[in-house]
Structure 1
Amino acid sequence: MKKVLLLLMVVIAISCKNEPKKEIKEETVVAVVEESFPTELGKVFEAHGGIETWRNSAVLSFTKGEEVHTVDLHARKNVIKSPNYTIGFDGKEVWLDETEKGAFKGNPSFYHNLFFYFYAMPFVLSDDGISYEKITPITFEGVTYPGYKMSFKASAGSSPDDNYKLYYNPKTYQMEWLAYTATFNTKKPSDKFSVIKYGTWNNVNGLILPSEITWYKTDDTGVPTEPARPAAVFTSATISKDKLADSFFAKPIK
């Protein structure tokens, strides 16, 4: 497991009976904080800019098509703005604001953070409440990619039965494949995995995040074969250390 060493300076004042003076003694105490992810995944996070950089960031924004996605990375509140609708999560409830009824086609509760999860890979897989299991590698076009499976505690998020499999390049440690199950609608575990190809990256204030992702078809064993549809493209990405006001994520009052 990956470990972080924290050096703490402790100042101890010692009183002497026979002397009015106080002796100041300094001791160095080493506190060990153990991260909850395996060493290999720690290297994946480092290849993408590092956990410290991720955790020191406050707000992420990116554009997908006509949608501008903005996310509070700590509270995980978010807003998706487009010309005909706005979807938001204020920390308690998901809301929808449309220019005309029916302008948004889909389920806001399912969609509001869907592409944030895909875009913020691999860092969202360092969240609390995740268990990690080393799994059999996959091979694509002659390259073998090691991987880990992630599962969630029952109290984690709205779809704790979802599972993810992350596969990384054995030389660069950059993430290249993501397999995932979708259980939001059924609320039941599933062994049917969809597969996304990563590999086109953009440096966003020190974090290496995708500029596009592509869903792939798979064979009977779950190994990717060919693209299933055109890539989803992300542009205009920014990361800020400055928080946004809660009102930004609130549903507009009309």
Structure 2
Amino acid sequence: MKKLILFTFLFTALISCKNNENKTEVGQEVAVEAEKSIPEQIAVAHGLNNFDAVEEIQFTFNVKVQDSIRTSRAWTWKPKTDEIRLTEGDISQTYTKKDSISEDDKEIDQKFINDSYWLLFPYQMVWSDADISEEKTGVSPISKEEMNYLEVSYKGEGGYTPGDTYVVYYKDDLLLEEWIYKSADGKREMPTTWENFEDFQGLKIAKSHKSPDGSFELFFTDIEVK
């Protein structure tokens, strides 16, 4: 009987230790999973985890100065094949984005890079090869509220706008509130808002960006995510 009691005790202790070990392993996995950088957390807050399911994105990029529409470009992008179609007025062009862009496609590619960055910049903080600062706290340029911010800088060579910097401001929900675009030569500095967010199949997109006085607005219409 003593041997049976001893065996039962040892078996129970072994099971208990194994369960604790499994709990620790699971806990460690959860901890590792949760350890995302601030840029990754911002991208996820804007719906990055849902992007893999996207087959097609349609959007129209518009720029209004005062009360006049200066630019309007309609895009269809299939992320899985990187087939891209641009429609401006009655003219449509299609190309496939590859590592090497032909000279004939560089103009349309430059427009797509610009317009899609405005649409999905939080994802570019993860996708692109940018230098990103540590999180800091400061007064935002438009609302003058205290917010967290990061500086996102692109290298001084390669790309269409080498050396440009974007300072992005956000609150606890990690959705972008404002940003400042700074050109590499220091001659241009433009703050705009991030507002009018809407959820498109899990992608949280700011449909409007306005200058401090409202005289400039960059906005998106005809957004559809499939």
TM-superposed CA distance for 1:171, in Å, is 3.3
**Candidates 72, 76, 89, aligned match of 2:78:** 72
Preserved CA contact (<8 Å) 1:61 1:237: yes
Higher normalized strand content (fraction of residues)? 1
The alignment partner of 1:159 has SS state of: coil
TM-superposed CA distance for 1:125, in Å, is 1.9
- Match in the other structure for 1:99: none
Distance in 1 between residues matched to 2:80 and 2:131, nearest whole Å: 20
Q: For residue 81 of structure 1, what is the amino acid of its counterpart?
A: T
TM-superposed CA distance for 1:206, in Å, is 0.7
Distance in 2 between residues matched to 1:132 and 1:205, nearest whole Å: 28
- Match in the other structure for 1:236: 222
1:230-252 deviation line (CA, Å, top 9, x unaligned): x2332221223xxxxxxxxxxxx
Residues 109 and 208 of structure 1, relative CA distance in 2, 3 Å threshold: closer
Q: How do residues 87-98 of structure 1 correspond to structure 2 at under 5 angstroms?
A: 87-91=93-97, 92-93=101-102, 95=104
Higher relative contact order (CA 8 A, sep 6+): 2
1:226 matches 2:206: no
- Match in the other structure for 2:193: 197
Equivalences, count: 184
Q: For residue 167 of structure 1, what is the amino acid of its counterpart?
A: Y
**Candidates 158, 161, 181, aligned match of 1:159:** 161
TM-score normalised per structure 1: 0.59
Residues 33 and 161 of structure 1, relative CA distance in 2, 3 Å threshold: farther
The alignment partner of 1:120 has SS state of: helix
- Match in the other structure for 2:147: 145
Preserved CA contact (<8 Å) 1:87 1:94: no
Q: For residue 194 of structure 2, what is the amino acid of its counterpart?
A: Y
Structure 2 unaligned segments of length 5 or more: list them.
1-24, 63-71
TM-superposed CA distance for 1:46, in Å, is 3.0
**Candidates 178, 199, 204, aligned match of 1:208:** 204
The alignment partner of 2:121 has SS state of: coil
TM-superposed CA distance for 1:198, in Å, is 0.8
**Percent identity between the two aligned chains:** 14
Q: For residue 82 of structure 1, what is the amino acid of its counterpart?
A: E
The alignment partner of 1:194 has SS state of: strand
Preserved CA contact (<8 Å) 2:40 2:126: no
Preserved CA contact (<8 Å) 1:178 1:195: yes
Residues 174 and 112 of structure 1, relative CA distance in 2, 3 Å threshold: closer
Higher normalized helix content (fraction of residues)? 2
1:15-68 deviation line (CA, Å, top 9, x unaligned): xxxxxxxxxxxxx99986899x733x333223222x321244343211235532
Q: How do residues 12-31 of structure 1 correspond to structure 2 at under 5 angstroms?
A: none
Q: How do residues 113-132 of structure 1 correspond to structure 2 at under 5 angstroms?
A: 113-132=113-132
Distance in 1 between residues matched to 2:160 and 2:149, nearest whole Å: 25
Structure 1 unaligned segments of length 5 or more: list them.
1-27, 97-106, 183-188, 217-224, 241-254
4+ long deviations beyond 4 Å: 28-35, 74-77, 153-156
TM-score normalised per structure 2: 0.65
Distance in 2 between residues matched to 1:71 and 1:164, nearest whole Å: 24
- Match in the other structure for 2:66: none
* Aligned-CA RMSD value: 3.3
- Match in the other structure for 1:57: 54
Preserved CA contact (<8 Å) 1:204 1:238: yes
1:168-198 deviation line (CA, Å, top 9, x unaligned): 1x2322101122234xxxxxx3233222211
